[in-house]
Structure 1
Amino acid sequence: MRIGIDFDNTIACYDGVFHAAALERGLIPADLGRDKNSVRDHLNGSGRKDDFTELQGYVYGARMDLVSPYPGFAEFVAASRKAGHDLFIVSHKTKHPILGPQHDMHAAARGFLTDRALMGPGEAQIAPERVFFELTKEEKVARAKALACEVFIDDLPEILGMSGFPVGMHKVLFDPENQFADKAAQYDRRASWAEIAADFARARV
């Protein structure tokens, strides 16, 4: 089975990262909520929208060392490879930040995958040539179609709802924060990589 996987907020977990990076740069009070939305709302609400935009580039380009894979993702990769599935990472992000230093965010994401032994030539890794970072959502969907993905896993229902994916593709909504209970009828909604691993360990090619 050919399985496509999103990257940001699907593989890479940013819990607490924006808070830590914003504190590091002196942008927020220490007692602010640790989630990304609290940081964004604080900066946007105080007229510092550009600071948040630059913060995103800083995190995605320079501080991926603060980021961890979601629990269970490495085990999912190992189990899926053992079951004979073909895994692809297909995500979208601009290559350089809109504001601030021009970090290569594609290279930073690949470095994250390599440093955590998720990408490489091993039997329990995803091959580098099967990792794609596209510049737009439309190009992401087109890539999934070109790869003939039979399954796609993403944290955003608006991505899974886009036209252009392969006909009949199985769509899995990764929802660890239980934000999209109302989407359960449209997509297979899963709260953890352990759940997803169990699904596909049984679905051998």
Structure 2
Amino acid sequence: MSGLSFIVPTEEHAQLLLDWRTRPDIAGQMLSEVPYDVERQKAWLRRCEARDDYVHRILCVDGAPAGHVSITVTDPAWGIATLGVLMGERAGRTGAAPLNFAYMLNHVFYAMGLRKVVNHILGTNSPRLLKGQPLIGYRPVGVLARQVVKGGQEIDLHIFEMLAEDWRATRGRFRIYEDMDGRVWE
């Protein structure tokens, strides 16, 4: 184990998640805007519990919360999902923590049995993040030029996709066979 673990968020995590989700450096990379309202955040967490098209966890590094990860089923009939990753603490951006995608992809393709992941990443994200997607096994689909407007700024939207068989062919390089709930898929 790499010191990573995942816990299901509860209402007790509302303040922590809200602080991360509204921090300018993080909010600027998100497609949605989140108002700073703890009660609204708690209501969102309650709605998440009732959803069958959404799975999310708090990523912990050595037991301490460091980020939030999510899987949203965007098309259940076609077995397609998208991933969301928010690293709220430095520990979530260094060391083994960036390997969170392996646990997430194992969860998508094995625990959930989906067939494809399609991710949308703002062009204002780190160039390392964009360049790293093919190294994980994603195929660049293309760029929607000036697709998103945030704060009056037009931002490119990069699209990447991965099929289940792509992940099966790639995941051995990372040697992580667990999903976000600790189940091993070999």
Q: TM-score, normalised by structure 1?
A: 0.29
Larger Rg: 1
Q: Which TM-score applies when normalising by structure 2?
A: 0.31
Which structure shows the higher strand fraction?
2
